[in-house]
């Protein structure tokens, strides 16, 4: 970048020393930002093309180039514009303590403080009147800098928004994963419980089936007869007859009653299917607050009406 607008006159072949205003060799009070400041020497080709002749001095310096540089510096005096207000009243009032103000320029060594003061005043006047050729590029660079700062601030805010959105998205994903994991665990537990119940029911059903087959094998002629107990003591034969007639396939029954003992009923059916259905329905049935217990008969009793 070229904040001082010197790119058209200066190039990188050699450098011209930059001095402080009081010509002092002591730079202890110089702002560190300005210690490394250099201004490039005028382009030799511009000097030759200007039609001026070279004038060699006794010390080997080009006096014509020095005069040419001085003329350039009348138009382009380099200074730090951010501290310009602090220089008001300092130039031309007899003081030479300008090092603390950080005022920089490039000029021949023989420029006096009064000449510098005059040039600074002219420079300030041109700057205020907007007739300075350096003001336009300076303001342009300043606007560009402000625009760049705004752009960077906008990018920073966008990055913050993206980071927040990313954080919320990650939290939502983690929450959904946790919920899914919990749901899968619940389903797994439910299936395990259901499977255990299924195994228990299957095992119990096989055990009952085996017991029924064993009873049927031992019953002989009583293959279609049910053995029923658990009736109340005052339960009569007629009531038992009415109860058994509700079931299809019922043929007849045998009613046994001993004193002070509940009765025992043998109910006969036409087929094994009829007796099995009656057993499934009648077992556990409540009759006058008593539960009836039913099983297949192991032996057959004669029918005594």
Using CA atoms, how far residue 121 sits from 39, 43, 97, 170, in Å, is 22, 28, 17, 63
Query: How many other C-beta atoms are found inside a 10 Å radius of the C-beta of residue 227?
Result: 20
Residue 297 burial by CB count (10 A; 0-12/13-18/19+): exposed, middle or buried? buried
Angle at 292 between CA 288 and CA 298, to 5 degrees: 150
Fold annotation for 223-296: Alpha-Beta Plaits (3.30.70)
Residue 180 burial by CB count (10 A; 0-12/13-18/19+): exposed, middle or buried? exposed
Angle at 172 between CA 168 and CA 177, to 5 degrees: 150
Distance from the first to the final alpha carbon of the chain? 128
Place of tokens 């049910």: 226
Cβ contact 107:116 at 8 Å: yes
pLDDT score at 25: 47
Residue 192, token pair as written in the block: 């395990």
CA separation for the pair 243, 265 (Å, rounded): 11
pLDDT score at 251: 87
CA separation for the pair 72, 5 (Å, rounded): 12
What does the domain layout of the chain look like in residue ranges?
Answer: 10-133, 143-211, 223-296
pLDDT in tens, the chain (305 residues): 444 444 333 333 333 333 333 344 444 444 444 433 333 333 434 444 444 444 444 444 445 555 555 555 544 444 444 434 444 444 444 443 333 333 344 445 566 777 777 877 877 777 677 666 666 777 788 889 999 999 999 999 999 999 999 999 989 988 888 888 888 888 888 998 888 888 888 888 888 777 777 766 665 566 788 889 988 888 888 989 998 898 988 988 889 888 888 899 998 888 888 888 888 888 888 888 888 888 887 766 665 54
pLDDT score at 161: 92
pLDDT score at 111: 65
Max distance between CA atoms of the chain, in angstroms, equals 164
Which alpha helices (H) appear in 129-221, and where do they start and end? Answer: 135-219
pLDDT score at 158: 92
């Amino acid at each position: 970048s070229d904040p001082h607008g010197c790119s058209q006159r200066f190039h990188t072949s050699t450098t011209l020393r930059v001095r402080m205003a009081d010509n002092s060799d002591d730079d202890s009070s110089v702002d560190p930002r300005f210690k490394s400041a250099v201004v490039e020497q005028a382009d030799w080709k511009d000097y030759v093309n200007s039609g001026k002749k070279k004038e060699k001095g006794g010390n080997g310096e080009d006096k014509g180039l020095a005069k040419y540089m001085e003329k350039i510096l009348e138009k382009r005096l380099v200074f730090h514009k951010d501290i310009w207000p602090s220089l008001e009243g300092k130039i031309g009032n007899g003081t030479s303590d300008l090092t603390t103000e950080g005022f920089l320029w490039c000029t021949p060594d023989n420029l006096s403080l009064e000449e510098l003061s005059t040039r600074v005043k002219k420079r300030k006047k041109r700057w205020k009147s907007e007739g300075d050729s350096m003001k336009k590029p300076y303001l342009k660079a300043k606007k560009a800098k402000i625009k760049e700062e705004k752009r960077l601030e906008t990018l920073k805010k966008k990055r913050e928004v993206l980071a927040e959105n990313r954080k919320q998205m990650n939290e939502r994903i983690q929450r959904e994963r946790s919920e899914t994991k919990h749901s899968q665990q619940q389903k797994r537990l439910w299936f395990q419980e259901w499977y255990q119940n299924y195994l228990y029911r299957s095992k119990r059903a096989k055990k009952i089936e085996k017991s029924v087959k064993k009873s049927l094998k031992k019953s002989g002629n009583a293959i279609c007869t049910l053995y029923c107990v658990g009736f109340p003591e005052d339960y009569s034969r007629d009531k038992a007859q009415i109860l058994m007639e509700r079931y299809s396939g019922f043929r007849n029954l045998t009613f046994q009653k001993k004193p002070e003992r509940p009765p025992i009923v043998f109910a006969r059916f036409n087929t094994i299917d009829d007796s099995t259905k009656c057993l499934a329905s009648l077992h556990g049935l409540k009759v006058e607050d008593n539960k009836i217990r039913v099983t297949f008969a192991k032996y057959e009793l004669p029918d005594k009406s």
